Amino acid sequence: MTLGSQNLTRLDQLFYSMRDANACFLGYPFAKDFNYEPLWRFLKFTGNNLGDPFEPGTYRVNSHAFECEVVEFFAQLFRAPDDGFWGYITNGGTEGNIYGLYLGRELYPDGVAYFSRDSHYSVSKAARLLRLEHAVVDSQSHGEINYDDLARKASNERNRPALIVANIGTTMKEGRDDTSKIRAVLRDVGVRESYVHADAALCGPYAPFLNPKPSFDFEDGADSVTISGHKFLGAPMPCGVVLARKSNVRRVMRAIDYIGSLDTTLSGSRNAYSPIVLWYAIRCLGIAGIKRMFDQCEQLAAYTADELNDRGVDAWRNPHALTVVLPPVEEGVKAKWQIATQDVSHVVVTPGTTKQQLDALIEAIANSGR
Ligand SMILES: Cc1ncc(COP(=O)(O)O)c(C=O)c1O
């Protein structure tokens, strides 16, 4: 394949435009600092992880072995039952949320889904896709679900199973729902059967190390947990991990002759490169590296909130959050720094975010009309 000079120029222009945009985004929770150059050689293959990563299959140009290691790493981190978990590498948090609710619906076809107003839009999309009757629960001002409203809504349907999506880091405020409290609320109002899916898109890799540890993992009552790989850990393409109880996955499993494997995943053909990227990240970092990266980010997040407060901007963050919440920023600031904005704006201090970038943003916000 060769490219004509005109198209080569266009390709160069695209590269420079992505490079420049990459240097000034602060409003999305994507890591900026990674180097996967040793993995570029894998781009020569039509890698495809189709089928169940834990099962042999006919097509062998895959990275299943590494995918399983990544899944096992997170299973341990999220205190999954030793022989009772299963998981795979997804295209991102959205797929993980759809998968979690899918397993929940297959377990309880007449269940009602509950999730808070602050949930990522992929959650209501999953509920619509799966044709799940659902109730949107109020949130507290810091983003965590309102347990009283959950109790009210679940009590109205106490004779039906509940399918809950708990946010372990809401999209805008990094508010964290408590899966143990959710379980207790459901019990108290008389809901006898429930499935809890934890959406830990951003916080998953560091939540186990926070003190106090958020209540979100398998031992805390979750039946499935998902994270995004490109958020805290960092990846050049969207990816994620979903973990679930094996007994629930068996319910959706089908043997497929065409692939000589089991069909347990949402997508058929799946990225073989992202498991290698995530494997490389966790092996390079280890637990100590993840903790170190989190500490650096948290210090910068605290600095950002303090500096904005000093300049009269009402910025705040949840305990141990990397997300600094602030009043909606002015259009020019939003466009230049790619600041996600709804009723509030936010800055997310991810690995690779520099003090220089944050200082430039702080000045821009302080000097803007707001
Ligand atoms: C809490 C939460 N869940 C899910 C998602 C969706 O993740 P992805 O973009 O990886 O599909 C996001 C994305 O921002 C999120 O913040």
Q: Does residue 28 surpass a pLDDT of 80? A: yes
Q: Does residue 142 surpass a pLDDT of 60? A: yes
Whole-number Å distance between alpha carbons of 17 and 128: 36
- pLDDT over 70 for what percent of the chain? 99
Amino acid 369: pLDDT: 67
The answer to whether 207 and 200 have CB atoms below 8 angstroms apart is yes
Residues with CB under 6 A from ligand 1: 92-94, 97, 120, 122, 167, 169-171, 199, 201-202, 228, 238, 240
Whole-number Å distance between alpha carbons of 181 and 177: 8
| Rounded distance from Cα 200 to ligand 1 centre (Å) | 9
The minimum-distance atom of ligand 1 relative to the CA of 230 is 10
User: Do both 131 and 226 map to the same domain?
Assistant: yes
User: Do both 207 and 302 map to the same domain?
Assistant: no
User: Do both 114 and 224 map to the same domain?
Assistant: yes
Mean pLDDT of 281-295: 98
Q: Rounded mean pLDDT of the chain?
A: 97
Q: Does residue 363 surpass a pLDDT of 60? A: yes
User: Do both 30 and 61 map to the same domain?
Assistant: no
Residues 50, 53, 55, CA angle at the centre, nearest 5°?
100
Domain containing 55 — which CATH number? 3.40.640.10
Domain closes at, from 254, 282, 310: 282
Domain containing 338 — which CATH number? 3.90.1150.10
| Rounded distance from Cα 94 to ligand 1 centre (Å) | 6
Q: Among residues 1, 28, 11, which one has the least CA distance to residue 345? A: 28
User: Do both 315 and 239 map to the same domain?
Assistant: no
User: Do both 156 and 300 map to the same domain?
Assistant: no
User: Do both 118 and 178 map to the same domain?
Assistant: yes
Domain closes at, from 282, 309, 333: 282
| Rounded distance from Cα 215 to ligand 1 centre (Å) | 19
The secondary structure of the chain, three-state, reads: CCCCHHHHHHHHHHHHHHHHHHHCCCCCCCCCCCCCHHHHHHHHCCCECCCCCCCCCCCCCCCHHHHHHHHHHHHHHCCCCCCCEEEEEECCHHHHHHHHHHHHHHHCCCCEEEEECCCCHHHHHHHHHCCCCEEEECECCCCCECHHHHHHHHHHCCCCCEEEEEEECCCCCCCECCHHHHHHHHHHCCCCCEEEEEECCCCCCCHHHCCCCCCCCHHHCCCEEEEECCCCCCCCCCCEEEEEEHHHHHCCCEEECCCCEEECCCCCCCECHHHHHHHHHHHHHHHHHHHHHHHHHHHHHHHHHHHHHHCCCCCECCCCCCEEEECCCCHHHHHHHCCCECCCEEEECCCCCCHHHHHHHHHHHHHCCC
Structural domain count, the chain: 2
User: Do both 355 and 210 map to the same domain?
Assistant: no
Where do we find the tokens 């072995």?
65
Q: Does residue 153 surpass a pLDDT of 60? A: yes
User: Do both 90 and 55 map to the same domain?
Assistant: yes
Mutate to test the pocket of ligand 1, among 90, 117, 227, 228 (most ligand atoms within 8 A of CB): 228
Where do we find the tokens 């949107």?
136
- The tens digit of pLDDT for each residue in 61-119 reads 999 999 999 999 999 999 999 999 999 999 999 999 999 999 999 999 999 999 999 99
| Rounded distance from Cα 124 to ligand 1 centre (Å) | 12
The answer to whether 95 and 124 have CB atoms below 8 angstroms apart is no
Mean pLDDT of 356-369: 94
Domain closes at, from 282, 317, 337: 282
Encoded tokens for 277: 């990227």
Where do we find the tokens 């948090």?
93
User: Do both 306 and 233 map to the same domain?
Assistant: no
The minimum-distance atom of ligand 1 relative to the CA of 119 is 1
| Half-sphere CA count of 301, side-chain side, radius 13 A | 27
- pLDDT over 90 for what percent of the chain? 98
User: Do both 351 and 211 map to the same domain?
Assistant: no
Mutate to test the pocket of ligand 1, among 116, 174, 202 (most ligand atoms within 8 A of CB): 202
Whole-number Å distance between alpha carbons of 227 and 276: 16
Q: Does residue 146 surpass a pLDDT of 80? A: yes
51 falls in which pLDDT band (50, 70, 90)?
very high
1 falls in which pLDDT band (50, 70, 90)?
confident
The minimum-distance atom of ligand 1 relative to the CA of 238 is 10
| Half-sphere CA count of 135, side-chain side, radius 13 A | 21
Whole-number Å distance between alpha carbons of 228 and 235: 10
The answer to whether 156 and 149 have CB atoms below 8 angstroms apart is no
| Rounded distance from Cα 180 to ligand 1 centre (Å) | 22
Whole-number Å distance between alpha carbons of 27 and 140: 22
pTM reported for the whole predicted model: 0.97
230 falls in which pLDDT band (50, 70, 90)?
very high
Whole-number Å distance between alpha carbons of 137 and 160: 17
Mutate to test the pocket of ligand 1, among 30, 91, 120 (most ligand atoms within 8 A of CB): 120
The answer to whether 130 and 105 have CB atoms below 8 angstroms apart is yes
User: Do both 258 and 363 map to the same domain?
Assistant: no
Amino acid 370: pLDDT: 57
Amino acid 33: pLDDT: 82
Torsion of CA 112, 247, 224, 226, to 10 degrees: -120
Whole-number Å distance between alpha carbons of 3 and 167: 46
Full residue range of the structural domain in which residue 307 is found:
5-35+287-367
Amino acid 14: pLDDT: 98
